[in-house]
Structure 1
Amino acid sequence: MINSFSPAPGLGNRHIQTVFSRFHRASPWVATGCRWFNMPDGDRLALHFPSPLRDDPSCPLVLILHGLGGSVESPYVQGLMEVLPNYHFQVAVMHFRGCGGVPNRLPRAYHSGDSEDPRWLVNELKKEFPLTPIALVGFSLGGNVVLKMLGEDGGCGQVAAGVAISAPMDLHACSRYINTGLSHLYERHLIGELRQSLLNKAKDPQIAAALPDLNYRSHFADFRHFDSAFTAPLHGFRDVDDYYTRASSKPLLKDIRTPTLIINAIDDPFICPSAIPASSELSSTVELAVSERGGHVGFIGGSVWNPSYWLEKKIPHFLGSVVGLPKEVQQEDSLSQVLESH
């Protein structure tokens, strides 16, 4: 399916789409509270929310999973977190282990197939808010985690709906693709952030003793070297190829039984086009929205002087169609679309 996104004039380039929001929305603007959840293995997860959560079946909870090196302060998270309450959704953001500037307690961290942590958190939230539907929205790495989790759970999970944006569904292909051309610049930036995160963790002598040598530069040459040295051994994979195979969500898409939306752009500098699934690789509950342009977690329309963030309409519309929006919200939204079209 080709989605309805069209880039703003002057913002059609895939790299501009990818980085524009970091300059246009350089500072976080949605304040949040934070709650820490202690996990069975002795580690902990942070949950951020702009308003206290409550058990309310008329206000579903949207749990957002950020991308690699992201956090509640990422512009794409801030934007979605701001608009979702307008559609009568509650919203919360899960920080993967060690993200948000606070090192986690164990040598392990998180990875592209880390579905156990959000599954555990969803189950904890359902114990506290049993009447509240929960939807998952994941960006980039977080999107792959959402899809993998929904595929593993089939129809037996606690999630009412899922959305994945710019997800690297085939890690083998995407690890090669991001190591080519200008995409390699993003790779270098992300690996630099990962190395700094490990250096912060290594201030704890016990954790430092369990990590490979952080001064061995070859470990940080590209994602394949990094994942071979750190991700695979620290998270129980046999090697990097075993990690890429078992963590990729694409083979599991046919097993998803939860209403799910996948959003990707063909020109994404992070995602190999071959990683985007064909319709035949999806279950009947999965909707695929692919555009020619949009970059990586970009999808910026409108104009340069008055940009509009298409994801911040598309995602609430889809979630509302699954879990239901109040009639007055649907009417207000329909009116705003009519006004925008003129």
Structure 2
Amino acid sequence: MSTIYSGLLRKVEHLEQIRIRLTLPDTDFLDLDWSYSKTPSKKIVLIIHGLEGSSRRAYIQGSAKTLTDSGFDVCAINLRGCSGTMNNLYRSYHSGATEDLQSVVNHVLQLDKYSSIFLQGFSLGGNLLLKYLGEKRILAKEIKGALAISVPCQLADSLHQLLRFKNILYAKRFKGNLIEKLKLKQQSFPNLISDVDIEKIKTLKDFDDIYTSKAHGFKDAMDYYAQCSSLQFLNTIEIPTLLINAENDSFLGEACYPNDIAKLHKTLFLEVPKYGGHVGFYGPDNFTYTERRTIEFISNFN
């Protein structure tokens, strides 16, 4: 119920978002929706949505409003093809496309305005964020901390859960949205995807076998899941990072709760509240548990 309420019924009002388009190194683009604190701020939070989400989803807008009300600027990232305008290339977004997050970080750094950058990711965006932090790269000194919420840390495990009967409505909706986008891609790239290919897509795994893996340089869906699951990158995260996965998240299996890693980790903190569903945390006055924890966590860096 919390997952459905937050996904379909929750409304967030009085948030202004200003869109700018960022050109990427490969000539594609990302649409970024900016929200600003009422007072000038040197602190910014970059937010990444989940599978088939966007910056206009309530969980993104709720977080953005809470942050701007607390003195932070916000840049809500629309991953490729998720802003309402189809991206230019055959490729789109996926759970491990950290190069796009790096492009946004570079853009924010070039503004030379912010001394503190925080990262927040939900679901697929949370996996992307954790992978980004744990990859072998030198993080900008301005990046102070991160929060990842409802994260499928082991992608194959999460897929297994989504294919179970209990999640059939969610899986059907995700698959339907993805296929509609793929049909639009087909109009621009008829030589890369055929009607027969699209007809073969019966499950989310089929979609990743036929499109996601092939469009992004992976052998197949299982190779994509293996290379992009953030679980294998958690041990090398060096900045303070809070991971919140609800115990009753029906999208996550046991492998998505890295209890053993977090117990020994110096900078990764795992919270497993009993309730919250999948990005379905809610609270009084339209102020969710994860929004409260976000402010509490990043306020420690002021």
Q: TM-score, normalised by structure 1?
A: 0.82
Provide, for residues 173-211 of structure 1, a one-character-per-residue CA deviation record: whole Å limited to 9, x for no partner: 11111100221221110111111122223332xx23223
Structure 2 equivalent of residue 93 of structure 1: 76
Match of residue 259, structure 2, among 262, 266, 278: 278
TM superposition shift of 1:73:
1.0
Structure 2 CA distance for partners of 1:29 and 1:72, relative to 1, 3 Å: farther
Contact 1:228/1:240 (8 A) holds in 2: yes
Match of residue 199, structure 1, among 179, 183, 187: 183
**Separation in structure 2 between the aligned mates of residue 254 and residue 45 of structure 1, nearest angstrom:** 30
Match of residue 44, structure 2, among 48, 53, 61: 61
**Separation in structure 1 between the aligned mates of residue 42 and residue 208 of structure 2, nearest angstrom:** 39
Structure 1 equivalent of residue 92 of structure 2: 109
Whether 2:154 is the aligned partner of 1:170: answer yes
Whether 2:30 is the aligned partner of 1:45: answer yes
Q: Which amino acid aligns with 2:195?
A: D
Structure 2 equivalent of residue 287 of structure 1: 269
Gaps of 5+ in 2: none
Provide, for residues 241-296 of structure 1, a one-character-per-residue CA deviation record: whole Å limited to 9, x for no partner: 11101100011101000110000012111111332102335631111111122100
Provide, for residues 5-54 of structure 1, a one-character-per-residue CA deviation record: whole Å limited to 9, x for no partner: xxxxxxxxxxx010112444257652311111111111011111123999
Structure of larger gyration radius: 1
Contact 2:153/2:255 (8 A) holds in 1: no
Secondary structure of 1:100's aligned partner: coil
Contact 1:140/1:165 (8 A) holds in 2: yes
In angstroms, what is the RMSD of aligned CA positions? 2.2
Gaps of 5+ in 1: 1-15, 325-342
Structure 1 equivalent of residue 241 of structure 2: 260
**Separation in structure 2 between the aligned mates of residue 27 and residue 93 of structure 1, nearest angstrom:** 15
**Separation in structure 1 between the aligned mates of residue 75 and residue 31 of structure 2, nearest angstrom:** 10
TM superposition shift of 1:168:
0.6
Whether 2:299 is the aligned partner of 1:320: answer yes
> Which stretches of structure 1, 4 residues or longer, exceed 6 Å deviation after superposition?
none
Secondary structure of 1:261's aligned partner: strand
- Report 1:1-342 matches (<5 A): 16-26=1-11, 30-51=15-36, 59-129=42-112, 131-153=114-136, 156-157=139-140, 159-204=143-188, 207-213=189-195, 216-219=198-201, 221-280=202-261, 283-302=265-284, 308-321=287-300, 323-324=301-302
TM superposition shift of 1:319:
1.1
Structure 2 CA distance for partners of 1:51 and 1:214, relative to 1, 3 Å: farther
Secondary structure of 1:189's aligned partner: helix
Question: RCO (CA 8 Å, sep 6+): is it higher in 1 or 2?
Answer: 1
Task: After superposing the two structures, state which structure 1 stretch, 93-102 or 43-52, moved more.
Answer: 43-52
Q: Which amino acid aligns with 1:70?
A: G
Q: Which amino acid aligns with 2:247?
A: I
TM superposition shift of 1:122:
0.2
Provide, for residues 102-142 of structure 1, a one-character-per-residue CA deviation record: whole Å limited to 9, x for no partner: 00000000101111100121012101226432111000000
**Separation in structure 1 between the aligned mates of residue 190 and residue 87 of structure 2, nearest angstrom:** 13
Q: Which amino acid aligns with 1:178?
A: L
**Separation in structure 2 between the aligned mates of residue 114 and residue 153 of structure 1, nearest angstrom:** 14
Structure 2 CA distance for partners of 1:128 and 1:301, relative to 1, 3 Å: closer
Q: Which amino acid aligns with 1:253?
A: L
Q: Which amino acid aligns with 1:244?
A: Y
Contact 1:28/1:75 (8 A) holds in 2: no
Contact 1:164/1:261 (8 A) holds in 2: yes
Provide, for residues 39-88 of structure 1, a one-character-per-residue CA deviation record: whole Å limited to 9, x for no partner: 1111011111123999x7x5311000001111111010111111101221
Q: TM-score, normalised by structure 2?
A: 0.92
Contact 1:38/1:45 (8 A) holds in 2: yes
Contact 1:172/1:244 (8 A) holds in 2: yes
